Amino acid sequence: MELLVDAPRRAFVPGDDSHGRATQQPALTIWDGRDANMIGAQSAFARGAQNNRDARRGQYAPAAVPAPA
């Protein structure tokens, strides 16, 4: 925790709760508390993070978003 407090502010990725929730919700829905769904949930989370990254860069294209597995 001390490292986070002492880290320069530019090291943190800007965002807010709605961005975090938009990334997490599809993964949580797929996971549904079941270990068997973990790989699919991780893939959905990674996809959401990539979509957020692309959007921040102005490169997000909804047609390029793969459908959930």
In this predicted model, what pLDDT tens digit does every residue of 47-62 receive, in sequence order?
888 888 888 888 888 7
pLDDT at 68 over 80: no
pLDDT of residue 55: 84
The domain segmentation of the chain, as residue ranges, is 16-54
In this predicted model, what pLDDT tens digit does every residue of 1-36 receive, in sequence order?
565 566 565 545 555 566 678 788 999 999 999 999
Provide the angle, in degrees to the nearest 10, between the axes of the packed helices 38-56 and 17-31. 160
Separation CA 19–CA 39 (nearest Å): 22
Separation CA 45–CA 7 (nearest Å): 26
pLDDT at 64 over 60: no
pLDDT of residue 41: 94
Query: For the CA atoms of the chain, what is the radius of gyration?
Result: 14
Residue with tokens 């102005």: 58
CB-based contacts of 24, cutoff 8 Å, min separation 6: 45, 48
Mean pLDDT of 34-45: 94
